[in-house]
Amino acid sequence: MKTSAASAKSLSPASASTAESEAALDALDPRGLRINPDWAKLPLFDRKGWQRVRFGDVVRSLKEQVDPNSGEVERYVAGEHMESEKVHIRRWGIIGDGYLGPAFIRRFRKGQVLYGSRRTYLKKVAVAEWDGVTANTTLVLEALEDKLLQSLLPWLMLSERFTKHSIQESKGSTNPYIN
């Protein structure tokens, strides 16, 4: 959205009253939606102290293995069970209810994030609500405690910037994947 120099100047707290600033905000958004000016005062949105970090510096990829037939886990999650842009797992398979391929060796635990590494443009990111097993093509991820909140991880991974980067880093043309 473009703003004129006059509009931008009128939003400056030094040169405008609160009423004038609110009127300028109303004029900038024809839908009548307004930005809460109190939010701008919150330290959370002050990016001055923020620093850019590598994903691998704040998140670890877990590769714990489990034999699905050992009785340690009851459910499995395959790629088709994860829905695009839905963080809740609404479908799963029960171990023993049919053939489960040899790739299903990756253990996940409640609270960890599952990420479909094939065709990352599908944005298959889910939070495990129980322990289980998944295929080795699904990444099991966990935020480093002192670096990133685990509850923010799935939302970060669903962002457009993250998806764009994962697509750029993908290898292969028919079934692109990331490592």
DSSP 8-state assignment for residue 142: E
CB under 8 Å to 60, separation ≥6 — which residues?
141, 142, 144
Query: The tokens of 102 are what?
Result: 């040899």
Burial class (CB in 10 A: 0-12, 13-18, 19+), 131: middle
Is pLDDT above 50 for 111? Answer: yes
Which SS3 state, helix, strand or coil, does residue 92 take?
A: coil
Average pLDDT, the chain: 83
Give mean pLDDT, residues 1-15.
Answer: 43
Q: What is the pLDDT of residue 82?
A: 95
According to DSSP, residue 177 is labeled B
| Residue pointed to by tokens 């053939």 | 99
Per-residue pLDDT tens digits for 68-98: 999 999 999 999 999 999 999 999 999 999 8
